[in-house]
Structure 1
Amino acid sequence: MNSKDLPTLQELAGRSLLRNEDLAISALEKLPIVFFPQLLKQAYEDSRVNVLRKIVSSWPFPRLPLGALKRRNAWDSQEYYVLEEVDKLLIQKVRPKEYKLEVLDLRSVGQSYLDVWSGPIDSWLPQTSSATEGRTQPLKVAVNLYLRDEQLNKLLYLSQWAEKRKGLLQLYCYELQIWLPSLSICKYLLECVNLQYIEILGLHSLRDPAFFLNLASYLGHMTKLCELSLSNIHEGNIASLEERRHIISGFASQLLNLECLQKFHLDTAAFFEGHLHQLLRSLKTPLNDLAVTHCTVSASEWNRLSKLPCVSQLQQLSLENVRLTSLSPEPLRVLLVKAAPTLVALNLEDCRIKDRHLYAILPALSRCLQLTTFSFYGNQISMHALKKLLRLTASLERLRMELYPVPQDCYEDNGSLNRQSTRDHCNELMDILKAIREPGRVYFGTDRCYRCNNRYIYNKTMMCKCQRR
């Protein structure tokens, strides 16, 4: 057994104590507070309900990271027991002298159950002001909300609790992800949280685009929003083109308020096709992460992309599965020149770029000296052009992940892959890299199989069964 897997003396002491619940409960009054975090974890995992309740009522720290104890996102009975005990404490007129709880953290990520020593550590939460110290403050309940059908009971429980104990507790949401089609339920839940503290928002699989217009008034209050993702947004039943424009204009107008936005992702969003420029021009501060993926971009939108203020300081850019074959390479060249001092990750996977496009952007790519990740799978590049590309990227000393397409020279006239040619060409390309610098992770991948959508990666994966027939 690895020494790291061996239990600590504190863990062994906790297990021994929990074998006798009455003894454990009585011992809590004299137990050094250093034992509380570990004992809480063990009582939670072993479903020692009575001990768990007593630990919560005696919790000696300002922060209780309950979410970090959960094995999954769904609620379990232990979590309800903790909330019941916290609720009992909230309604007591005279609370126990050892009561110090300020933040109940229900988020399951971004924290450790042992990370309680310094009290509230989340900079996104409001801090208790000195003017209000000495008075009982509402308990801050920190959550990530995932509005989907299977989470509905949990969300309604929380919102009803917040409504019932208004003035005694406040819900603070850090991350909000919405899949629910019901606007009325979403509105009810959004009314219960402090919208101005949301930093991550995702809207997914919404088939009624009118939802965006109704959400706009809430979006305008999310002034600290850092990340916004829109994915799988379909056109739905829109009565007219004018109605579509009205919805998008109303939604885009609220983006003007998002002065903290740093990350914007648009994926498989047919509803916004033709209006990408309208969304992006509403972002007044520079982004560090822009992804427009699996979308159709018009020539007019493409030509205006590099002129937008929000793309001047990009650190990450993804245009995966945006077909650039019929578009001019000039906007991409200008965009790379503009982002060159800051760009660290570039994803041009499955853009169907050809040699002439590549040659046009090579000088700009050579200026991206901070680049660490370059994904270029799924582009129709010849061996001659790939040699030029690798001689250039070999000089980018920070590159650690490089994903290149198998040269078009490796395919037969019927589209099948010539294994021997692939081996020879990929080995030659690797030699070009090795002659200049020690490569990090470098892979060569084929086009995706039109049957199963898998990609064969030379020297890494197996050829899919479709191609082996």
Structure 2
Amino acid sequence: MKSLRFVSAEALASHPRVARQSLDSVAHNLYPLLFKASYLLEQAEVTRAVLGSWPTEEFRLGALLGPSSDHPVDLCDRACKACLEALVCGLADHVQLGGSHPRLRGADLTGIRDVQVQQCPCGRALGRWGRTQLLARTCSKLQAERLAAGHPMEVLADLFVTEGNFAVVMQALEPVGRAPLQLRCLAFRADSLSPGQLLRVLRLAGPGTLRRLEVVHNVRLHAGHVLQLLAQVGFPRLVALTLPTRAFDAPPACAPTPNGEDPLLAAIAQELSQMTQLTELSVAFSMLTGKIQTLLGPLRTPLRALDLANCALNHADMAFLADCIHAAHLEVLDLSGHDLFSLYPSTFSRLLGQTAQTLRVLTLEECGIADSHVGMAILGLGRCRRLRALKLLGNPLSARALRRLFASLCELPELRSVEFPVPRDCYPEGAAYPQDELAASKFDQQKYDAIAEELRAGLRRAGREDIRLSTPLFGSFDPDVRETSAELGAFLLQAFKTALENFSRALTPAE
């Protein structure tokens, strides 16, 4: 329920002209309420004016939009374009206008959650890439301005850098002299950059404060690049690291060692071991057969989240995972793309036993889990009493097997989400697994709907309406990919064109 103070703030924010004229009379401790009220009502003029006159030395967006005793609704999932643009303009006004009262020295703009459906009145979102572009342009524009208040303002943000905004971000991060707005980074996502561009921008992005680094598939790294990045830049406070596909492949000119050892991977692991706060590691789609101990063994801090999807693990890798220090601390685990129950049934069962006290999210997509494996799955999952989310897409399970599995899942008290595959019954006889996107989409929709409703009815009978079921065939919503889809499409076309040209040149001498 809203407090009377917040209702009053809403009333003032709903009259922009009056609000702007009254700001000098508003008590400093009421500014946070007026800001949240203006954001809620999408009164961009008021939002800008409040930031321009912000009376204290600190502004924390996530905390101000989050639940409070005055207004319990969380607005952090509103990436409202109009409000966020007004907010950044207000910061620019603040450093330009100056004043005699205490001035804002630090603005933390992190905490916004990008969601598929915007709840703000305009319904227009400004995603992470757009926020990065807006901030970088504003910082660059102000670099020629005189510091009105005599000191710069540090702006902390989550950055998303691609080829499309690389130049303006570099300009914002590398100002000449004391810029009014100094951009710092807490979380960094990179896509469609060259290794050289990635190295350059990360050196400027404040690696000493960086907590999360996500380098995705369209940045073509090999093990030499990864080692250079970790050794030369350094990320002492990094908590989470995501590397792109095949990031541990040897450089083209690197000859394999006679004994099969991987000195580059060992060196990378040694660099990772220096990151004493690293607890989340994602290296999906890297060829790591027989190398998991080399990579994870030297780490001094137990991992809480580990993504090893489609890494071609063997029995030695699985045995190490089941017995290593990380297993007893894992909260998030992705082992998609491995035939766990067929090839390593006892080892995987031991791993689940080790993680049972901590595991919250388990992803086992395209693991070849068939009806004959459901008994083993029930025994293993039954110990994971803290499990909140289970993802099983792409496994050849029948409706009967799913009913049996779901009956056991009802016993997990904290389970809230299950992503289950389209049952085999809905596909033509003899359908092959794993499926490509085209084959996966060709199923009997009516039969699927009937089975899905039957599964939901079973949950209701068991009193587990709190478990949400879904079958996201083409992946979950990804706001970053949606926002830059056009740019990434052009990047992939150019990469394909370059590959064809290289192939053509290679054929010419042979002719």
Task: Report the TM-score when normalising by structure 2.
Answer: 0.64
Measure, in 1, the Cα distance between the counterparts of 2:86 and 2:250.
39
Assess if the C-alpha contact under 8 Å between 2:284 and 2:309 holds in 1: yes
Among candidates 309, 312, 329, match of residue 325 of structure 2: 309
User: 101, 108, 117: which is aligned to 2:104?
Assistant: 101
Letter in 1 for 2:228: N
Of the three residues 454, 466, 475, the one matched with 1:440 is 466
CA contact (8 A) 1:318 1:348 kept: yes
Bigger CA drift: 252-261 or 433-442? 433-442
Post-superposition Cα deviations, 1:374-421, rounded to whole Å, max 9, x if no partner, equal: 222322235564454234223223322233345545554354857787
> What's the secondary structure of 2:13's corresponding residue?
helix
Report the Cα distance in structure 1 between the residues aligned to 2:319 and 2:213, rounded to whole angstroms. Answer: 28
Matched, 1:12 2:14: yes
- Is 1:353 paired with 2:369? yes
Q: Which amino acid aligns with 2:164?
A: E
Measure how far apart 1:310 and its partner are. 1.4
1:150-185: CA deviation from partner (whole Å, max 9, x where unpaired):
232442232233x5228x986542112223634554
2:144 alignment counterpart: none
1:402/1:176 Cα in 2 relative to 1: closer, same or farther (>3 Å)?
Answer: closer
State whether structure 2 residue 378 is matched by structure 1 residue 362: yes
C-alpha distance in 2 between matches for 1:422 and 1:39: 47
Give the match for residue 120 of structure 2.
none
CA distance in 2, matches of 1:183, 1:382: 45
Q: Quote the residue 2:497 is aligned against.
A: none
User: How far is the alpha carbon of 1:230 from its aligned partner?
Assistant: 1.8
1:296 and 2:312 are equivalent in the alignment = yes
Partner of 1:148: 162
In the alignment, is residue 63 of structure 1 matched against residue 58 of structure 2? yes
Deviations 1:346-394 (A, max 9, x none): 2212222124444334322211122222222322235564454234223
Higher relative contact order (CA 8 A, sep 6+): 2
Q: Structure 1, unaligned stretches of length 5 or more?
A: 19-23, 90-95, 112-135, 456-469
Contact 1:201 1:229 in 2 (8 A): yes
1:265 equivalent to 2:305? Answer: no
Q: Matches of 1:433 and 1:61 in 2, distance apart?
A: 51
Aligned to 2:95: 86
Deviation at 1:333, TM superposition (A): 0.7
Structure-1 separation of matches of 2:283 and 2:212: 14
Using the TM superposition, name which of 238-247 and 296-305 deviates more: 238-247
Letter in 1 for 2:285: T
* Distance in 2 between residues matched to 1:46 and 1:398, nearest whole Å: 40
The structure 1 residue matched to 2:189, chosen from 174, 177, 181, is 177
Q: How far apart, CA to CA, are the structure 2 residues paired with 1:193 and 1:103?
A: 16
Alpha-carbon distance in structure 2 between the residues aligned to 1:284 and 1:296: 25
What does residue 336 of structure 1 align with? 352
Cα distance between partner residues in 1 of 2:221 and 2:336: 26
CA distance in 2, matches of 1:230, 1:16: 51
* TM-fit CA distance, 1:200: 1.0
What are the residue-to-residue correspondences of 1:363-402 with 2, within 5 Å?
Answer: 363-382=379-398, 385-402=401-418
Asked whether 1:255 is paired with 2:264, we answer: no
Separation in structure 2 between the aligned mates of residue 47 and residue 420 of structure 1, nearest angstrom: 47
Question: By how many angstroms is 1:292 displaced?
Answer: 2.2
Q: How many residues align?
A: 403
Give the C-alpha shift of residue 144 in structure 1. Answer: 2.1
| Equivalent residue, structure 2, for 1:223 | 236
| Cross-structure match for 1:464 | none
The aligned counterpart of 1:286 is 302
Percent identity reads 22
Give 1:276 deviation, angstroms.
Answer: 3.8
Shift in CA distance, 333/65, structure 1 to aligned 2, threshold 3 Å: same
Matching residue of 1:467: none
| Aligned equivalents of 1:56, 1:436: Cα separation in 2 | 51
- Other-structure match for 1:465: none
Distance 2:350 2:448 in 1: 33
- Separation in 2 of the partners of 1:9 and 1:444? 41
Distance of aligned partners of 1:351 and 1:60 in 2 relative to their CA distance in 1, 3 Å threshold: same
Q: Is the 8 A contact 2:162 2:192 kept in 1?
A: yes
Higher helix residue share = 2
* SS of alignment partner, residue 150 of structure 1: coil
Contact kept, 8 Å, 1:377 with 1:405, in 2: the verdict is yes
Q: Give the C-alpha shift of residue 339 in structure 1.
A: 1.0
- What is the deviation of 1:139? 4.5
**Contact kept in structure 2, 1:289 and 1:317, CA below 8 Å:** yes
My pick for the range that moved more, 28-37 or 252-261, is 28-37
Moved more, 378-387 or 247-256: 378-387
Flag the 1:144–1:402 CA change in 2: closer, same or farther, 3 A. Answer: closer
Q: Which residue of 1 aligns with 2:505?
A: none
Normalised TM-score (structure 1): 0.69
Counterpart Cα distance in 2 of 1:383 and 1:29: 66
Report if aligned partners of 2:389, 2:417 keep a CA contact under 8 Å in 1.
yes
Write the letter of the residue equivalent to 1:300.
A
Distance 1:325 1:189, change over 3 A: same
1:160 aligns with 2:174: yes
Q: Write the distance in 2 (CA, Å) between the matches of 1:402 and 1:307.
A: 27
Q: Return the letter of the residue paired with 2:271.
A: Q
Q: Using the TM superposition, give the Cα deviation of residue 430 of structure 1 relative to its aligned residue in structure 2, in angstroms.
A: 5.7
CA RMSD of aligned residues (A): 4.5
**Are residues 15 and 241 of structure 1, via their aligned partners in 2, closer, same or farther at CA, if it must alter by over 3 Å?**
farther
**Residues 384 and 160 from structure 1, CA distance in 2 versus in 1: closer, same or farther, beyond 3 angstroms?**
closer
- For 1:340 and 1:60, locate their aligned partners in 2 and report how far apart those are by CA, in whole Å: 49
Q: For 1:10-89, what aligned pairs fall within 5 Å after superposition?
A: 10-16=12-18, 24=21, 29-30=24-25, 32-33=27-28, 38=34, 58-64=53-59, 71=80, 79=88, 82-83=91-92, 86=95
CA contact (8 A) 1:227 1:264 kept: yes
Q: Whole-Å Cα distance in 1 between the matches of residues 444 and 52 of structure 2?
A: 69
SS of the aligned residue for 2:282 comes to strand
Deviation at 1:72, TM superposition (A): 5.0
The Cα offsets for residues 21-51 of structure 1, whole Å up to 9 and x where unpaired, read as xxx4xx65555446756479979x88879x9
